[in-house]
A and B are shown apart, each in its own frame.
Chain A
Amino acid sequence: MSFKRNILDLRKRKKEAQQGGGEKAIEKQVAMGKKTARERIKAILDENSFHEYDLFVEHTGRDFDMEKKVLHGDGVIIGTGTMYNHPVAIYAQDFTVAGGSLGLMHARKITKIMDHALKMRVPLIGINDSGGARIQEGVNSLAGYGEIFYRNTNASGVIPQISVILGPCAGGAVYSPALTDFVFVVENISKMFITGPGVIKTVLGEEISMEELGGAMVHSEITGNAHFFAKSEDECFEQIKKLITFIPWNNAQKALKFPPQEPLPQRNIEDIVPIDPHHPYDIRDIIKAVTDGSDFFEIMEYFARNIVIGFGRIQGNTIGFVANQPMYLAGVLDCDSSDKAARFIRYCDAFNIPLVTLEDMPGYLPGVDQEHAGVIRHGAKLLYAYSEATVPKVTVIIRKAYGGGYIAMNSRHLGADFVFAWPTAEIAVMGPEGAANIVFKKEIDEAENPAEMRKQKIQEYKDKFANPFVAASKGYIDEVIEPSETRARLIHSLEVSSSKVDPRPERKHGIPPF
C-alpha cells in the first residue's frame, strides 16, 4: 500500500526535475533554433537507451541569495546509453537552467560521468551549451573546470572523447572541447571564444560580430578548433553517428570490422590525375577510388584544405587517410596543414587505426608569414607524428614528392612499412626548375643563349631525376605500381601489417614540438 505512495512521489519528483528550467526557458531555447538538452541526448543515442544519473543533485551556492534558487539537476544532464548497441557515456549542459552555467555540483556531475567513461573504457560525448562559469559560486566553478580538464587529459588516447558545441562555450569552458578528440559545431548555434566581441572592442577597438569572432565556420575554416561543421543540429547528430562507426571504443580495441565492399565503379583511377603535373585535381577522388563503397568521411574539411584527412574502409577495416590536396594551395605543406595532419596521425596511432598516406606535394609554402609563424616547429610536428606512430603505415606517391615534404609525408626514412609510387611520381630534392638553376649554373651562365641552355638543362634534370626510379633503385620505394593496382597493393600491405609489432624505447613520454 505505502509502496505506491512512494512510487508516485518519486514519479512526481522526477517529472519536476526533468522539466529543467521550465516551460518559458524551454520556449526561449526553441526560439533560438535549439533543441533541449534531453532531446539532444535522445537524438544521439539508440532509442530508449538513455539512463540518467544525478537527476536530484542540487547546487551548493549560498551567496548572493543563491540558496533560495532551485536549479534542477544543476544545469547538466549526465548518463549512459548505447549507440548501435554499444555503451557510451554522455552529458549535456542544459541552457534552460541558469544558462547552463557551471557551478561546483554541475562540474561534479560531469566529472562523475567522465570517471565512469574512463573506468568502463567507453566513449564520452559532451554537449556544451553554457554561459560559462557561475559567477556566484566563485572559485568553486573554476575548480570545476580544472577538474574537467584534468580528466579530459587523463582520458586522452584511452577513450574517444567527442565534444558537441550547441550554444555558447566561452572563456575557460572552451578548453574542455579543445582537449578532446573531435569537436562538432553547428552554424548560427555554436559560439566559442575566450574573450567576447564587447571586451575586444573596448580594449582594442576591433569591431567584430560574435559569428565572425567565434562562429561555427570561423572555427571550421580559420582557427582549426572544430572538426565537423553542420548546418543544423540534426545534421550534426548524423555526423556523430557516422564518426562513431569508424573508431574503436577504446585504445585496447580495434574499430569494428564491416563487410568488405568494392569501390563503386567511377572514373578510371588513371583518368583522375592530369598528365601535366602543373594541373590540379581532387585527391579525394583517388581516396574514393580505393575505399570500400567509395565512402570517405572527411575530417576538418574546411581547415587547411591543402591537406585532406579522414576515415575510409579497406576490406571492411577502418583506415586513416592523410593526403596532399593539389586542388588547394597546390597541396603545399605549411603551418596549418602540418598541425592538422600531425594531430590526426596521433589519433590514429592511439586508437590502432592504420594510416594510408597519398602524396602529391610540391614542398613547403614559401613566405615571410610562414617562417615567422613558425613553420619550422609546426612542420616538425608532422615528422614527429609519423615517426612516433607504430600502427601500419603505407604511402603511395602519386606525383610530386619534393624536398623536405618528401621526407615528411611518411617516407621510408620515417618508418613507413610500405612505400609505393605511381610511374608518374617525381621524387627529388627539389623541382627541376630550381634544381637546374643551381646544378647547371655555370653551364647556363656561360652559354651563348642562357635561356635555351636553361630549358635544356631543366629537361635533362627532369629526365634524370623527376621519376620514381632513382628512389626505387635505392630501395626507398618498394615498388613502382600501375595506378589501377593501388587498391590491391593497399589491401595486401595492410593485411601483411595487421599484427605489426614495432617497439619504441621506454620513456615517460616524448617531447613533441607542440
Chain B
Amino acid sequence: MEENNSKYQVFVVNSGMYLSLSTKKYDLRKKWHKSDPKEIRSIIPGSVIEILVTVGQKVKAGEVLLILDSMKMYTKIEMPYDGIIKSIHISQGDRIPKNTVMLLIE
C-alpha cells in the first residue's frame, strides 16, 4: 500500500487534503504573476516591420513604438504611458512569437 501511494500527490481542496494522481495539463500550468507594466510584450505573433524609437528616447503615451506585421495586418504598438525607452530586444525583420518582451520602458 505504502509503495502504491508514492505516485499520488497531495491535493488541498476545501480545506481537506486528498491523495490523488495529477493530470498532464495540471502539471503544465503556470503560476500566475502580475504582469510588469515596464515590459512591452507582443500580444500576437508577427514580424517586426519598423522600430520607431531608440534607446534613451523619451516617449509620450500613445506614440507609436513599432509596427508589427501580423495576420496580414500592420499593427501599431503604442506607448502605454509617458516614459523612456530602456532597452530594445528585437530588430527590424525579426519574426517573434506571442508574449515576447519587445521593449523595456521606465
Contacts and interface: CB of A to CB of B under 8 A. Distances in A.
Contact of B71 (A202, A206, A362): A362
Nearest to B71: A330
B31 interface: yes
B75 interface: yes
Of the candidates B43, B44, B45, the one having the most CB atoms from chain A within 10 angstroms of its own CB is B44
**DSSP majority for the B interface?**
loop
Contacts of B72: 277-278, 330, 362-363, 400, 402, 431, 433
B104 to A, nearest CB: 23
A83 B47 CA distance: 52
Interface residues of B, number: 17
Nearest to B68: A330
B98 A278 contact: no
Interface residues of A, number: 26
B43 A329 contact: yes
B81 interface: no
Interface string B27-56: 000011010000000011100000000000
A326 to B, nearest CB: 6
B71 A367 contact: no
A310 interface: no
B22 to A, nearest CB: 14
Contacts of B34: 212
Nearest to B70: A330
A204 B33 CA distance: 12
A427 B38 CA distance: 40
B8 interface: no
A119 B69 CA distance: 54
Interface in B86-106: 97-98
A279 B70 CA distance: 11
Given A329-B44, A367-B97, A369-B98, A204 B71 contact: no
Contacts of B75: 280, 329-330
B12 interface: yes
Given A202-B12, A280-B76, A362-B71, 12 more contacts: A205-B31, A206-B31, A212-B34, A278-B73, A326-B73, A329-B71, A330-B70, A330-B73, A331-B73, A365-B71, A400-B72, A431-B72
Interface of B: 12, 31-32, 34, 43-45, 69-76, 97-98
6 contacts: A206-B31, A208-B32, A278-B72, A330-B71, A362-B73, A365-B44
